[in-house]
Chain A
Amino acid sequence: MNFSKKIVLAEDNSILSTLLKFKLEKEGYKLLIASNGKEAVDLIENNNPDMILTDIMMPFISGLEVISHVRNKLEMTTPIVVFSSAGQEEMVLNAFNLGATDFMSKPFSPNELIIRIKRLLQ
């Protein structure tokens, strides 16, 4: 039962986040959307989500800092999936070093994202 599994999505592209919200809520997840790293961290601290999806390139606090904050300061083991644009391999490596669980490079298929989320939340 996917009921009430909470996912925090940090993504500054509003159309993309709306699309993902629709698709994921159709699957039964509850979506909390942040448009930058700072909002994301606030949502994570207040809602204790079951999964975190974050873009790497975001205004001000980057996705990397979100991961670092979650793993080191909040010491949470929540699965984290990062989105990266092509060519940001170094950033992705840094993300994994900081504790990211998985990554998907943009452009990515929303359906594949759903499959990965389901797998990680088992």
Chain B
Amino acid sequence: MIPGLNLALMAVFTTTTDPGMEPVATPFFFYLLSGLAILGGFLVITRRNPVHCALALILTLIAMAHLYLMLYAPFVAAVQIIVYAGGIMVLFLFVIMLVSIERASKDRRFNRFWPVGLAAACALMALFVSAFVKGRALFPDRMIAIPEGSNTQQVASMLYGEAGRMGQYTFAFEIASLLLLVAILGAVIMTKKKI
């Protein structure tokens, strides 16, 4: 066989077993996914129809899950899809379908609360800007590269701790769990007239 062709075939056909595989076209995917997320967010606040808003929100959430993947956080990405896109958004749609959409879409939304919303948005924006400006001092210069294979273990040992030692975030995790439990009890008490 011609040597050049041979080499070309080798390049296509052989399986490189290099485990430290480099991601492909990172900037392209970053801008694509961020663009999709922003587009989804924009559609959420501009669409009149609540179901369209919910679908746009799903687009945003899935784009964000992909961004987590690009940040070498596959566990967070998977949980984002399961909990938000698969669970919470299905419940959202369930509730939206029960309300009368014809009437809701004719009402002007946020007709009384827009100053509050504007203030909240400005405050959040200020927070982001300040974090961006002062970020150098607050956050480490570069991320610790956790190998993809042990990402889930790392999350677990941060939340639950290694053998016999409390994890970095065990306390915060337990507080969050307790808060959710209280919310569940509250929901049950509020909906049940007689317990």
Is A bound to B? no
